Amino acid sequence: MKKLKYYTTIICFIVVGFAYGQEVDYKGVTYTVKKGLIYAEGYDVTSTLSLEDQTQIKSIYRSNVSELKKQEEAEKRLKNQEKGRKKAEKKQKEAEKKLKKIEKQLQRKENAEKAVLRAKSKLEDAQNKYEKLSKRGELSPNDEAKWLEKIKKLNDRLNSAKNKLSRL
């Protein structure tokens, strides 16, 4: 990311330099080309230069301009690539969020299923033990009331766990 900013800054300086300085160095003299005319130190020197010098200066100018256009195109491509990368990162983050949400939902469902199984198991164990004690005749009226209350609570827990599972 830091390298990208660095390169972008350098490209911008080069582009600005070419945009404002349409200058051409030819035979040790700096010429400025504007609208097909050649200036030296702010004066129009197009008519004083030979035809060969004019064509040389203009060809150097055209090559500078084409290089500038190539750099601008490269900068545009770089910006588009950066935009595409940012969009891809954003989509990836959204996908990761959705995946985490789905995983959480799945974990909740698994926990609810485990709770239903535990509640069912405890209820069955309590009912079996109650029936066993009842058949043997080892339950007093108070014990029987306690066992029935315990079985009722376990049944309520099972129903509650089933309701929770059905809501997920």
Number of domains in the chain: 1
| Tens-digit pLDDT profile for residues 78-135 | 999 999 999 999 999 999 999 999 999 999 999 999 999 999 999 999 999 999 998 9
Distances from the Cα of 120 to the Cαs of 22, 79, 109, 152, in angstroms? 86, 61, 16, 12
Q: Dihedral of CA 19/6/82/67: which sign?
A: positive
Which residues span the domain enclosing 22?
Answer: 2-167
What is the predicted pLDDT for the residue at 20?
Answer: 47
| Tens-digit pLDDT profile for residues 7-63 | 565 555 554 444 444 787 777 777 888 887 888 887 887 778 787 887 888 888 888
Strand order through the sheet with 23-26: 23-26, 29-34, 37-40, 43-44
The residue type at 9: T
